[in-house]
Structure 1
Amino acid sequence: MTDKAPDRRLLIDGRLSGTAATFASVNPATGAVLGHAPDAGPAEAEAAIAAARNAFDTTSWATDRDLRARCLDQLHGVLVDHKEELRALTITEVGAPHQLTTGAQLEEPIGVVRWYADLLPTYEFSRDLGVHEARGARHHRWVEKEAAGVVAAIIPYNYPNQIALAKLAPALAAGCTVVLKGAPDTPLVTLALGELIAEHTDIPPGVVNVLSSSGAAAGELMTTHKDVDVVTFTGSTATGRRIMAAASGTVKRVFLELGGKSPMVVLDDADLQAVSMMAAFMSCSHAGQGCAICTRLLVPRARHDEIVEMVAGGLAHIPVGDPTDPAVYMGPLISERQRVKVDAMVQRAVADGAKLVCGGERMPGPGFFYKPTLLAGVDPDSEIAQEEVFGPVLSVIPYDDEAEAIRIANNSAYGLSGAVFSASDERAVGVARRIRSGTFSINGGSYFAPDSPFGGYKQSGVGREYGLEGLAEFLETKTFGAVAK
């Protein structure tokens, strides 16, 4: 396993540069320092915002659709050309198993850039409303969509390629300029994206700026600065609340993709063996570090013990270990801090009455590994059933009838995702429609693709990424009226 990566540079106004202060990025599978990133502060954030503002206000980026399409096409090609370099860095810095990089950790996000590049030439930025009579005259009216302005994009550590490109590609397609800040735990992979943009595309200086920082000062400035028009943030709900409050001072547009506590509802006619295996593997995807992962397994009370036994059997077969090994399914948590948090929540759950079926402890050796964990007989109102864990922990909650299952599924501050299983697709869809969630899987169906909007209800966020809705987040609507000739 490689424990070294090149130190990276910030991208500000088309120039790659370092800072006097740097901070370490750690390989979570070994605990060793992987490389160092520039520690940007308010001065660098100010410079990046100024560059983005200038590029938006004084260049043709916002109005030249052909230039934007060409640059997005270039960006897609560059990402494809450097895919293996990005894969190696994603595995070692994020702790993402090689398997995941062929999907949501890398290759699928590259496809998102392709989708918006292909959409842009045919997207209708204007709509004719025809002529109407008013004040004794005829008036022609039409609507135009135009870029919202300067975007501050702040991303988390768990899927840095996917989340960065889910923000960057539609923002650029819309004609916005962007200041992108990587997560403190995974700065190098985001900075690598900035270097590829600077060195291999014709994206003009200032249109994309990429920062890394170990503290909160740069991000706080991005969310409050008068020259930022849109804030898009993915991360915890607690931080999202603070960003929404901070942005209100300048009445910014805010898009938030926040936490989740998604339910997987198993109806009494479902294939229990198949569902149990799927629940086991889903809960361990990227060591449970995913906002849309189903972490509450709702099961018929009469089948609770049977299902628990099946899920435990599935968890026992999860390949856990070195994420560079193509056979490994689950890698480490991102940090020792996160591992301590996960373990503390599990221990509190057991103290509160949940039954620890398997796992519930750190794995020996280097790195920040935690055993796949199953908790049974969980109280739906308990902390473990209500709060996001962000670890490989699955809580099994029994219910008595379908109405109670729906009530428990909706008993959450979150509403990001969910799943339902039944022998009848019609019955499953009926249940899914009664659960307040932005995305839903029916009998194992996948909704996740560049053309399908992703986002949540309630405290899981505001707005949508991906699809036409993802582009709309970065567009303003302007209505025109002219006296008809």
Structure 2
Amino acid sequence: MDFTDLYIDGAWHKTAERFDVINPATEAVLASVASADIADADAALDAAEAAMAEWAARTPRARSEVLRRAWELMTARLDEFAHIITLENGKARADAMGEATYAAEFFRWFAEEAVRADGMITHAPASGARIVVQHKPAGLAVLITPWNYPAAMGTRKIAPALAAGCGVIIKPASETPLTMLALMPLLEEAGVPKGLVNVLPSRRTGALVDHMLHDPRVRVVSFTGSTGVGRKLLKSAADQVLKPAMELGGNAPVVVLEDADIETAVAGTMLAKMRNLGEACTAANRIYVHEAIAPDFIRRLTEEMAALNVGDGTDPSIDVGPLVNADTRDKVAAFVADAVAKGARVECGGVVPEGPGFFYPPTVLSGVPETAECVQDEIFGPVAAIQTFTDQDDVIRRANNTEYGLVAYVFSEDFKRALQVCERLDYGMVGLNRGLVSDPAAPFGGTKQSGLGREGGHEGMLEFMETQYISASW
């Protein structure tokens, strides 16, 4: 790998301490990566502060053109980024290409949004003063990204921050830092000023991030990851009263009503479940199927899952690669064992293959009881846990019975009825007759303990801006 050091102020910096990045398909070491410490964080903050002053002063169109160029360059290099994603994350080639394409699109979307931070001028009804409202860059932003989407979770934060006029420091996940490091030369080529974007991989994540969140120059923290870590970050952010953008955990229900089209429901469930091997906060976690159609649904879903090819994702014929590490694989296996012990039936899969590699086969479980651990927690793996229902009100209650509220999926051929069910689901996003909701043009985010704020859409850029109101008379 060419880029394995810290990226600070537009230059590569070596460190004495380093850590290994492992290929989850082979368990071989991919690269030794620099590990940042507190002094490196201070250097990155200094660089970002200096670069932001000039960047924020540029016209929105000037910032937009740089982001547009970043989209063009990344689109031309999708194969390269997909290959890196597969090597360090494990996802199959087609899945990695999908992520790379999705990641690049954030640069194009926020290139268009950069020129649309619209304010307003109005006349105060009572006082007669003029109300002038505008949006300004909030300040330096600390971006903390997860391992499951090493490209997209970075660009989904970098692009709106730059569109808003902010400088950033990125802390990528230790399992998958290579994709984000490989993006830096591309941003240089696109015209991003040195120092505006800095990347700090580190094995000392807690101390490093906490230090940055207590620096008065930092005004935004954007995190994607588990709810448990999100709670800790919110406590640190409270000391400086930072703007938090938190995309946290999920426990997504799929509700398949009796009037659903079976083929549409199976295809949508496959996408919602198997995109990124189920290692996604948006992954289908609890699949509720009406008893009247459950046998057909289970049969068709099992056929689709059993037909998937498992192996090293660098092979184009492979559908399902390895999970990211041994802990994730073992947790998935434990969920399946617990569900089976409590009465669930294995329709396909369910057996950990011999190594090397952190593989787990596509698995379908039917008759999963409410007491199963996989119903309460994110599976984060290729396991479809199916339950049945007969009453619509009851399944809505069951779907909402979780501390999470990120995304839900509904399948029905009765559009009016389906929309009524969608509106009763306490989730920030709902996929109606489709298993994919993520889109750069849409506001991504959840309710309850699935997070705060929104990424993507028009709202995504406003997370990195402050609203200023000027009262004037003329």
Determine if the TM-score, normalized by the shorter chain, exceeds 0.5.
Answer: yes
Change in CA separation of 1:67 and 1:183 when aligned onto 2, cut-off 3 Å: same
**Are 2:278 and 2:284, in contact at CA under 8 Å, matched by a contact in 1?**
no
Alignment of 1:305-384 (within 5 A): 305-384=295-374
TM-score (norm 1): 0.93
Alignment of 1:36-55 (within 5 A): 36-55=32-51
Change in CA separation of 1:447 and 1:392 when aligned onto 2, cut-off 3 Å: closer
When structure 1 is superposed on structure 2, of 438-447 and 147-156 the one drifting more is: 438-447
4+ residue runs over 4 A deviation:
none
Q: In structure 1, how many angstroms separate the alpha carbons of the residues matched to 2:195 and 2:82?
A: 27
Q: In structure 1, how many angstroms separate the alpha carbons of the residues matched to 2:82 and 2:469?
A: 45
Superposed CA RMSD:
1.9
Aligned-residue offset at 1:303? 4.0
Aligned-residue offset at 1:446? 4.6
- The residue aligned with 2:176 is 186
**Are 2:51 and 2:196, in contact at CA under 8 Å, matched by a contact in 1?**
yes
Identical aligned residues as a percent: 37
1:99 and 2:94 matched: yes
When structure 1 is superposed on structure 2, of 395-404 and 373-382 the one drifting more is: 373-382
- The residue aligned with 2:195 is 206
1:29 and 2:25 matched: yes
Aligned length: 473
Q: In structure 1, how many angstroms separate the alpha carbons of the residues matched to 2:352 and 2:254?
A: 26
Which SS does the other structure have where 1:374 is aligned?
strand
Cα deviation digits, residues 376-408 of structure 1 (max 9, x gap): 222235321010121111111121211111111
Change in CA separation of 1:314 and 1:66 when aligned onto 2, cut-off 3 Å: closer
Q: In structure 2, how many angstroms separate the alpha carbons of the residues matched to 1:74 and 1:437?
A: 35
Q: In structure 2, how many angstroms separate the alpha carbons of the residues matched to 1:77 and 1:415?
A: 35
Which SS does the other structure have where 1:467 is aligned?
coil
Q: In structure 2, how many angstroms separate the alpha carbons of the residues matched to 1:362 and 1:353?
A: 20
Counterpart residue identity of residue 215, structure 1? R
Counterpart residue identity of residue 222, structure 1? M
**Are 2:400 and 2:425, in contact at CA under 8 Å, matched by a contact in 1?**
yes
1:118 and 2:108 matched: no
Which SS does the other structure have where 2:385 is aligned?
strand
1:89 and 2:84 matched: yes
Q: Structure 2: 5+ residue runs without aligned partners?
A: none
Q: Structure 1: 5+ residue runs without aligned partners?
A: none
Alignment of 1:42-441 (within 5 A): 42-56=38-52, 58-103=53-98, 105-121=99-115, 123-130=116-123, 134=127, 138-198=128-188, 200-216=189-205, 217-441=207-431
Which SS does the other structure have where 1:290 is aligned?
coil
**Are 2:264 and 2:433, in contact at CA under 8 Å, matched by a contact in 1?**
no
Which SS does the other structure have where 2:361 is aligned?
coil
Q: In structure 2, how many angstroms separate the alpha carbons of the residues matched to 1:353 and 1:171?
A: 48
Which SS does the other structure have where 2:218 is aligned?
coil
Which SS does the other structure have where 1:364 is aligned?
coil
Counterpart residue identity of residue 129, structure 1? T
Aligned-residue offset at 1:207? 1.2
Cα deviation digits, residues 148-203 of structure 1 (max 9, x gap): 111000000011111101101011000111111111000111111123323x1322
1:468 to 437, 458, 469: 458
Aligned-residue offset at 1:354? 2.6
**Are 1:28 and 1:332, in contact at CA under 8 Å, matched by a contact in 2?**
yes
Aligned-residue offset at 1:414? 1.0
**Are 2:78 and 2:97, in contact at CA under 8 Å, matched by a contact in 1?**
no
Change in CA separation of 1:214 and 1:437 when aligned onto 2, cut-off 3 Å: same
Cα deviation digits, residues 96-149 of structure 1 (max 9, x gap): 21112332x10122111011112323x144311136563xxx532210100111
Change in CA separation of 1:356 and 1:255 when aligned onto 2, cut-off 3 Å: same
**Are 1:6 and 1:35, in contact at CA under 8 Å, matched by a contact in 2?**
no
Change in CA separation of 1:398 and 1:61 when aligned onto 2, cut-off 3 Å: same
**Are 1:280 and 1:312, in contact at CA under 8 Å, matched by a contact in 2?**
no
Which SS does the other structure have where 1:255 is aligned?
strand
Counterpart residue identity of residue 18, structure 2? T
Q: In structure 2, how many angstroms separate the alpha carbons of the residues matched to 1:354 and 1:30?
A: 32
Q: In structure 2, how many angstroms separate the alpha carbons of the residues matched to 1:408 and 1:109?
A: 34
Change in CA separation of 1:62 and 1:412 when aligned onto 2, cut-off 3 Å: farther
Cα deviation digits, residues 451-473 of structure 1 (max 9, x gap): 11111111111111111011111
Change in CA separation of 1:347 and 1:401 when aligned onto 2, cut-off 3 Å: same
Q: In structure 1, how many angstroms separate the alpha carbons of the residues matched to 2:240 and 2:271?
A: 44
**Are 1:61 and 1:67, in contact at CA under 8 Å, matched by a contact in 2?**
no
1:11 and 2:7 matched: yes
Change in CA separation of 1:124 and 1:341 when aligned onto 2, cut-off 3 Å: closer
**Are 2:306 and 2:349, in contact at CA under 8 Å, matched by a contact in 1?**
no
Counterpart residue identity of residue 229, structure 2? T
Aligned-residue offset at 1:95? 1.2
Q: In structure 1, how many angstroms separate the alpha carbons of the residues matched to 2:21 and 2:213?
A: 24
Q: In structure 1, how many angstroms separate the alpha carbons of the residues matched to 2:226 and 2:436?
A: 24
**Are 1:263 and 1:298, in contact at CA under 8 Å, matched by a contact in 2?**
yes
Aligned-residue offset at 1:445? 6.7
Q: In structure 2, how many angstroms separate the alpha carbons of the residues matched to 1:457 and 1:60?
A: 34
When structure 1 is superposed on structure 2, of 377-386 and 465-474 the one drifting more is: 377-386
Change in CA separation of 1:142 and 1:458 when aligned onto 2, cut-off 3 Å: same
Which SS does the other structure have where 1:129 is aligned?
strand
Counterpart residue identity of residue 51, structure 1? A
**Are 1:281 and 1:315, in contact at CA under 8 Å, matched by a contact in 2?**
no
Change in CA separation of 1:166 and 1:60 when aligned onto 2, cut-off 3 Å: closer
Aligned-residue offset at 1:298? 0.2
Change in CA separation of 1:276 and 1:133 when aligned onto 2, cut-off 3 Å: closer
